[in-house]
Amino acid sequence: MPVSAGDSDGISVRVSVRELTASYPRFFRRELVLHDVSFTARAGEITAVVGPNGAGKTTLFRVLTGFLPPAGGHCTVEGMAPRDYRRRRGIGWLPENPELPKAWTGRDLLGRAADLTVEGKVRRKAFLQAVERTGLEERTLAKTVRKCSHGTRRRIWFGCALVGDPRLLVLDEPFQGLDPPSRRSLRREMRASRERGATVLVATHELEEATRLADRIVMLRDGRIAAVRELEEGKVRAGELEEEFFGGDAAALRGGDS
């Protein structure tokens, strides 16, 4: 289930990454994936981490959510280690390839997320709100997960991640497998979270989507920061950034996830 919980005390979440390195074990050594990565994500903003296949986006987000300890450097969420913040406050987390119980229905999953996240007196309201935020019809939510499409599963998980209005949303390739109406619904909910003051982090290889949404784009390549660009939403063309930061290899951005 998503590790999501709402902050009722109005905490303004700031994510700080400084000279971060991360690695995975490979045979008899550790393979370095992230190299001296530094950037900041602020409350009330959408920060998009953009890069081609293998850039290290998923590894970075595993560190940000506390599931992978850094090999070096620092990563904090409101001054806490990500693992501590997740345990105390909760994170709205959409992994790249979420594993959902295939015998459960969408309603079962959303209800369970509400049970785990919010207090009993507001649980029903949180559940109904989560159902609405998925944008899915009742008959779709009544299906078991095994009968749902990939895109529908991602929308259900996203609805679970939003339960309790978490102050930190971390979304890994949220647009993967979604049709145009689902993408519009997702953008709307991400903007609504930003308006509620949440810190929203999005990893994507789709620069077009990033430029539609983000206040800041962190360009990641080969595990290193290529650039950090402040944006005025919708005012910068994706093609301009592709050419500026990736040049002749811009097509790699469309080739897949990391």
Is residue 105 within 8 Å of 143, Cβ to Cβ?
yes
pLDDT bucket at 49, cuts 50 / 70 / 90: very high
pLDDT bucket at 7, cuts 50 / 70 / 90: very low
How confident is the model over 160-170, as pLDDT tens digits?
A: 999 999 999 99
Going from the C-alpha of 35 to that of each of 22, 83, 226, 242, the distances in angstroms are 7, 21, 11, 22
The closest of 12, 13, 32, 14 to 22, measured between CA atoms, is 32
Q: Could you give the angle at the alpha carbon of 227 between the alpha carbons of 224 and 231, nearest 5°?
A: 140
Q: Is the pLDDT of residue 42 over 90?
A: yes
How confident is the model over 98-120, as pLDDT tens digits?
A: 788 889 999 999 999 999 888 88
How confident is the model over 182-191, as pLDDT tens digits?
A: 899 999 999 9
How confident is the model over 168-179, as pLDDT tens digits?
A: 999 999 998 888
Is residue 136 within 8 Å of 156, Cβ to Cβ?
yes
Give 17's strand partners: 39, 75
Tokens, residue 158? 């996203």
pLDDT at 248: 52
Cα–Cα distance measured from residue 221 to residue 223, given in angstroms and rounded to the nearest whole number: 5
Tokens, residue 139? 């008959």
Phi, psi of 26 (to 5 degrees): -145, 110
Give 47's strand partners: 201, 216
Average pLDDT of the chain to the nearest whole number: 87
Cα–Cα distance measured from residue 108 to residue 143, given in angstroms and rounded to the nearest whole number: 10
Which residues make Cβ contacts (< 8 Å) with residue 248, sequence separation at least 6?
none
How confident is the model over 53-99, as pLDDT tens digits?
A: 889 999 999 999 999 999 999 999 999 999 999 999 999 999 988 78
Average pLDDT over residues 206-224: 92
Is residue 108 within 8 Å of 141, Cβ to Cβ?
no
Is residue 172 within 8 Å of 58, Cβ to Cβ?
yes
Question: What domains can you pick out in the chain, each with its CATH number?
Answer: 15-249 (3.40.50.300)
Q: How many CA atoms lie within 13 A of 200 on its CB side?
A: 31
- Looking at per-residue pLDDT, the higher value among 1 and 136 belongs to 136
Query: Can you spell out the DSSP letters for 162-174?
Result: TTT--SEEEEEST
pLDDT at 25: 82
pLDDT bucket at 257, cuts 50 / 70 / 90: very low
